[in-house]
Amino acid sequence: DGGITQSPKYLFRKEGQNVTLSCEQNLNHDAMYWYRQDPGQGLRLIYYSQIVNDFQKGDIAEGYSVSREKKESFPLTVTSAQKNPTAFYLCASSIDQGPDTEAFFGQGTRLTVV
Partner 1 sequence: EDQVTQSPEALRLQEGESSSLNCSYTVSGLRGLFWYRQDPGKGPEFLFTLYSAGEEKEKERLKATLTKKESFLHITAPKPEDSATYLCAVQAPGYSTLTFGKGTMLLVSP
Kindly list the residues in this chain that would bind partner 1 in the complex (CB under 8 A). 4, 6, 31, 33, 35, 40-45, 48, 50, 58, 90, 92, 94-96, 100-108, 110
CB of 88 to partner 1, least distance (A): 8
Nearest to residue 21, comparing CAs of 1, 35, 38, 3?
35
User: Which CB, 16 or 40, lies closer to partner 1?
Assistant: 40
Total residue count of the chain as it appears in this document: 114
Conformational region of residue 46, where left means phi above 0, alpha means psi within -120 to 50, and beta covers everything else: alpha
CB of 16 to partner 1, least distance (A): 27
Measured distance between the N- and C-terminal CA atoms of the chain, rounded to whole angstroms: 35
Question: With the C-alpha atoms ordered 50, 68, 104, 58, is the resulting torsion angle positive or negative?
Answer: negative
User: Which CB, 65 or 88, lies closer to partner 1?
Assistant: 88
CB of 108 to partner 1, least distance (A): 5
CB of 65 to partner 1, least distance (A): 18
